[in-house]
A and B are shown apart, each in its own frame.
Chain A
Amino acid sequence: GAGVSQSPSNKVTEKGKDVELRCDPISGHTALYWYRQSLGQGLEFLIYFQGNSAPDKSGLPSDRFSAERTGGSVSTLTIQRTQQEDSAVYLCASSRIVKQETQYFGPGTRLLVL
């Protein structure tokens, strides 16, 4: 079956602009996660959606970052007023909600802020 898909695969933007990154999880997966991978910081958790529960936003680095998940499926991560330090690969993962279920990752969106 289809895996996690993300778009765009690459995004170059100017400092101060807003960007939207999209994630389409594996069909039937009710949990969706966003992570960020940057040089020097490794892989960091950003936000987690589980079904209709309130999302866990504990990893968002600032209030310029927000995410939503519509209809329990597709998710959009929005970064407002981008800064150069936002340059990273943004990875989305999804999983079923059963005990210790594996998270499957998408190919990522490479964001470069000039």
Chain B
Amino acid sequence: AQKITQTQPGMFVQEKEAVTLDCTYDTSDQSYGLFWYKQPSSGEMIFLIYQGSYDEQNATEGRYSLNFQKARKSANLVISASQLGDSAMYFCAMREGRSAGDKLVFGAGTILRVKS
């Protein structure tokens, strides 16, 4: 069963506008972590933002925020004021388990293109 679902294979956004990238997850664990990574065409995986399952506040990091809706099992990434450099592949990932070091399970990714 797919644990991380990213339903948008590709998205376009106009420069300076906000965009939401969807992510839903499936787990029976109470303790888990959700991550977003950015992968530009150069290939490196860049950590963007993290949300813990017990965190009551939505995570924010600069122009990135995570819209965490626990009951719906969704963890959407919101990028405000899009920039041309935001064009990349974006991956949602989850770590389950009580152990701090468990592996990440990734979604299929969403390609974001920012238009000028």
Contact = CB atoms under 8 A, between A and B. Distances in A.
23 contacts: A33-B103, A42-B107, A42-B109, A43-B104, A43-B106, A45-B103, A45-B104, A48-B102, A48-B103, A50-B101, A59-B103, A89-B43, A95-B101, A98-B100, A99-B100, A100-B33, A100-B50, A100-B95, A102-B50, A103-B104, A105-B37, A105-B46, A108-B45
A20 B100 CA distance: 28
Given A107-B44, A108-B43, A102 B103 contact: no
Contacts of A104: 47
**Interface size range on B against A:** 20 to 34
Contacts of B106: 42-43
Interface of B: 33, 35, 37, 43-47, 50, 52, 91, 93, 95, 100-109
Interface of A: 31, 33, 35, 42-43, 45, 48, 50, 56, 59, 89, 91, 93, 95, 97-108, 110
The dominant DSSP class at the A interface is strand
A59 B100 CA distance: 18
A101 B100 contact: yes
Interface centre among A50, A102, A104, A110 (most CB of B within 10 A): A102
Given A31-B101, A48-B103, A102 B43 contact: no
Contacts of A31: 101
B108 A42 contact: yes
B52 A100 contact: yes
Given A100-B52, A105-B45, 14 more contacts: A31-B101, A33-B104, A43-B93, A43-B106, A45-B103, A45-B105, A59-B103, A91-B45, A102-B35, A103-B47, A105-B44, A108-B44, A108-B45, A110-B43
A99 B103 CA distance: 13
Closest 6 CB pairs of A and B: A105-B45, A43-B106, A100-B33, A45-B103, A31-B101, A99-B100
Contacts of B35: 102-103
Contacts of A35: 104
